[in-house]
Structure 1
Amino acid sequence: MRILHTSDWHIGRTFHGSSTMDALAEVLGALTVQVRDNEVDVVIVAGDVFDSATPAGPAYTLLSDTLLALADSGARIIVTSGNHDSAARLGFQARLLRDGIHVLTDPLAIGAPVTVADADGPVHFFGIPYLEPAIVRQHFPAAGEGGAELRTQAQTMAHAMSLVRAGMAEHEGRSVAIAHCFAAGVDATVGLEREVRQGGLDMVPLEVFDGPDYVALGHIHGRQQLSERVRYAGAPLHYSFGEQDKPRGSWLIDLDADGLANVAWLALPVPRALVTLTGTLDDILSADNVAAHAEHWVCAVYTDALPQAEPMRRLRERFPYCAMVQHQPAVTGAAEVRTYSERLRTAVTDTDRIEAFLEHVRAGQGASERERVLIREVLDDRVRAEALV
């Protein structure tokens, strides 16, 4: 059986105020072609289908069009809900969907698989919707009633996987689990989902996922291989500049009669590349940069000692898709790493305090000679005004 693992579509998300709907439609169209060309039997979407619990109408249209196109390619589709989705809204039409499209959002149905058969027998797909402990613990027996303690993501996912393993015991054959969580071992540099907190409360140990032949995870926006059979596919679009160098695509999984046989990466197109340009504002606006990046999404980090006038306007005259500008003065000496409180401790006069403030906000650069004259004039005027009161 051939399976395609994707996740984190985030239909409806904006990128620095710009809609991503057209770009995502292009990418999901390319994914549909890959499904058809590679004769995929089952497509898994591991959560965060929408970016909002209350998506706008066009988001539903894009989802419907994509699911129908995937179904028309001959694949079965299995979708689970993520933390951005409203499980109720995503799943409200589940029983009305055409054959071959399954939307799994019910925590009470975790142990009941969607079964798809091939020449080697059945493959059981267990969908685990995103489980917020405080919300879903009401659905499961409490610890005092013979159930599990469900206060953390680790405890809740461990309980869900115990239901999966119980379902596996009842259904002979190969198995695939689908979940949306933050698993231990993730490389934090690949673009963490924006609500993920890297603390023990949200981290699910890798051994929790023991059992199935493959575990398709969502929640992390860059591809990750935690083990040969436990992986994140990441998001199909770049949703932040922190993800700009990370590949976009899906995992193509082959199961044979004995289980996991092969996993390959299918790259997806990037409609508009992202780039971060660093240097002085004049350097960033150079002809070479404009020639190379005029059609890219641009994050400009300018290192001039002082803030420049109207940097975004000037940047967008050269880079129409400049989405972000940051002022990060270059640090050039040991004195510049002093904290503001350390500078103030050595300040005696008002002039010293103003100098300490300027050094702090200008990455170590104090007042110029002309500014010192102005500072002295202002302070002298204040002294004269106080003397007249």
Structure 2
Amino acid sequence: MATIPSHALRHLTVTRPWLRKIRCTASLAFCSPDNYINGNADTKTTNNSNSQAFFPKKNQVLELECESLAFKGKGVCKVADSGFVLLCDRALPGERFIGRVTRKKGSYAEVTKLKTISPHWDLVDAPCEYASYCGGCKTQNLSYEAQVRAKEQQVRELLINVGKFSDKSPDFSSIMKPIVPCDIQFHYRNKMEFSFGSQKWLPKELLDQKLDDNENYALGLHAPGFFDKILNVDKCLLQSEPANKILATVQDHWKDPELGLSPYNVHTHAGFLKHLVLRTGRDMKTGLPELMVNFVTSSYKPGLLKLLVEKISAIPEVASIVNNVNTSVGNTSVGEEEYTLYGKSTITESLRGLTFQISANSFFQTNTRQAEVLYKLIEDCAGLRGDGSEVVLDLFCGTGTIGLTLAKTYLPWVLLI
């Protein structure tokens, strides 16, 4: 088998089409670290004659303006006339800020935002109290309309720069369809995975705070950039209100010393609780929400979960409590064995008139409401005659929800592969 030399690999990693062809401009100025620390952000704008040869160095402090969003919500800035791109987490279009270069990767660098000089164009108040720290909703303080525009622009540039479609072609409008926004922005996810951890993430101003073991325990979401630190959360605006009731109930009781529960430590591989996975479905008879609670643990000890099961099962919407046992040192939420501790082993959900049984580890579209919209668009684009003469191949289909919903209306034959 042929091998690729290391210098070629380095070349491949930096020649990213989306990065090379980001179409944005940004202003850049030099800022002395001493001036910034002293609160005196005097800057000197780059000279065009020198900017062609300019490439920022690690730890250099710069004044930047964000022009657009890249993948995963990173703000894109560009050194004038040099083509050098800088990516900054939590920087938003139109925002001017002071940033420090933290990593340099060939043709681009990463910047950490130190201070905002002027806010971005579409500033809104983030409704979530954890938005400033959590990695789940980095652009929550950007209006939803602006988020939609940014996503549409990303897809457009992928089609042009990677797919090599010409936006000058009269057929481009038939390829690049307008984005379809969701009519709800919160409480739409039917599945959320929270992690137990022995190291609670704390903001910088609280790092000197001394915590005992119990106070350092956390249940929530991984802090950005950390696999071992957990941002403790009492609710999440992405999941349903009944799911938040369950999360709050677990938070109220799991640290009780009398229960003898301990979070899994990813360094020492000791501890019992790994994950809390909450899934929201629908009771087909009443139309009301029904929820599954999945405790992922390092071993099977149902006695340790008994009190938590009693507390959670008292919530009317809870229809299923299961225990996935993952004995490996890996920290995935899928276990080698599964036990039903309360109620049913599955919950149900309806999608385009079909009822699906959902188990703890099965894949299902996480936004049921928008999946309905997506599948209707697929149906419209397919242009099926519906006269029984067609066969649809639904490749790499998972549970086959797309093919099954099409078959219900149009087709006698759907092959799910």
Higher relative contact order (CA 8 A, sep 6+): 1
Larger gyration radius, structure 1 or structure 2:
1
- TM class, shorter-chain normalised? under 0.3
Q: TM-score, normalised by structure 2?
A: 0.23
